[in-house]
């Protein structure tokens, strides 16, 4: 995937990994469409990206609102003849027990992480296909590979993304649409702080393990290099990534370890 000079749309670009990836991509001198709910934060990211030699468009919208997605997509596609890359970093996590969590919270997590992500993809995909292909990057999580305590709907929404986008990839090989599943472990962002509790309120706590995780900037460097290499799965993080391999090759050990996670 040649990134230089391409038009790339990044969601979740106002903070965390999405922000760091946008800035990393801006060094490639491309045109970046920056999206999240937070217009002022996006504008600050846009200034950094433009100072790095890229052009930008700021398109705020809410992944949890279908009308907001539709308006943003229409606005972008009215002005852009092609989207060469669509990189999904927007999302929300969870910190609550299954037995305590209101079903409205489960639905909200899926609305943002799954339905919002695939709706935007469905609006951009026909344009990609008509222009000869492109690349879609989708942020999952290591818990998109296995279940994990206090992350039930978050993990489920990430599992769903794997199933959807692996199907999309298989259907569109002849259309030259590339799909990379981005699978972070512990990256030091505010994802745990902003995670939803059982009532749908912000968790407002930084996970101890996450606080010691890889920086978003280092993760972004790895992600961009592997997007350029068209990797189908991009694992990024520290020693916690071993759990992916334990789950695959030593399931009995995984089942034991998953019960030893400390309570909230």
Buried b (16+ CB within 10 A) or exposed e, 99-113: eebeeebbebbbbbb
Q: How far is the C-alpha of 254 from the C-alpha of 200, rounded, in Å? A: 29
Q: Could you identify the residue written with the tokens 């978050």? A: 154
Does residue 178 register a pLDDT over 70? yes
Count the neighbouring beta carbons within 10 Å of the beta carbon of residue 217.
15
Give me the pLDDT at residue 264, please: 67
CATH code of the region 7-239: 3.40.50.720
The helix, strand and coil proportions of the chain, stated in percent and rounded to the nearest 5, come to: 50, 15, 35
b/e burial code for range 10-44 (CB count within 10 A of at least 16 → b): bbbbbbbbbbbbbbbbbebebbbbbbbbeeebbee
Give the percent of the chain with pLDDT over 90: 93
CA separation, residue 153 to residues 18, 25, 43, 54, 146 (Å) = 21, 31, 32, 37, 12
Boundaries of every domain in the chain: 7-239
Output the six-digit token pair for 230: 């068209």
Cα dihedral 199, 205, 209, 211 sign = positive
- pLDDT given at position 211: 87
Strand residues in 15-149 grouped as ranges (E): 31-35, 55-58, 85-88, 134-139
H/E stretch holding 7: strand 7-11
* Radius of gyration of the chain measured on its C-alpha atoms: 18
Whether the predicted pLDDT of 170 surpasses 80: yes
The answer to whether residue 62 scores a pLDDT higher than 70 is: yes
For the four alpha carbons of 112, 238, 52 and 125, in that order, the dihedral sign comes to negative
* Catalytic residue (one of 87, 97, 150, 154): 154
| pLDDT over threshold 90, residue 81 | no
Q: State yes or no: pLDDT of 263 exceeds 70.
A: no
Q: What is the pLDDT of residue 35?
A: 98
Is 150 labeled as catalytic in the residue annotation? no
- What pLDDT digit, counting tens, does each position of 200-220 carry? 999 999 888 888 899 999 999
Model confidence pTM above 0.85: yes
Average pLDDT taken over every residue of the chain: 96
């Amino acid at each position: 995937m040649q990134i230089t000079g391409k038009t790339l749309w990044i969601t979740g670009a106002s903070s965390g990994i999405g922000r760091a990836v946008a800035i990393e991509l801006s060094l490639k001198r491309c045109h970046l469409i920056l999206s999240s709910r937070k217009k002022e934060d996006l504008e600050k990211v846009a200034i950094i990206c433009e100072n790095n030699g890229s052009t930008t468009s700021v398109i705020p919208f809410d992944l949890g609102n279908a009308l907001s997605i539709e308006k943003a997509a229409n606005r972008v596609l009215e002005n852009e003849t092609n989207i060469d890359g669509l990189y999904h970093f927007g999302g929300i996590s969870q910190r609550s027990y299954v037995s305590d969590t209101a079903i409205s919270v489960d639905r909200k997590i899926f609305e943002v992480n799954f339905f919002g992500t695939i709706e935007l993809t469905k609006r951009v995909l026909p344009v990609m296909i008509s222009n000869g292909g492109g690349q879609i990057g989708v942020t999952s999580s290591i818990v998109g590979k296995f279940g994990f305590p206090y992350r039930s709907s978050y993990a489920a929404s990430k599992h769903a993304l794997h199933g959807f986008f692996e199907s999309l990839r298989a259907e569109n090989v002849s259309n030259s649409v590339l799909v990379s599943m981005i699978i972070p472990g512990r990256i030091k962002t505010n994802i745990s702080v902003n995670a939803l509790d059982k009532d749908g309120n912000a968790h407002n706590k930084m996970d101890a393990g996450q606080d010691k995780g890889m920086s978003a900037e280092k993760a972004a460097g790895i992600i961009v290099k592997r997007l350029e290499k068209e990797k189908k799965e991009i694992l990024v993080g520290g020693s916690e990534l071993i759990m992916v391999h334990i789950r695959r090759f030593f399931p009995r050990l995984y089942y034991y370890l998953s019960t030893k996670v400390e309570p909230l």
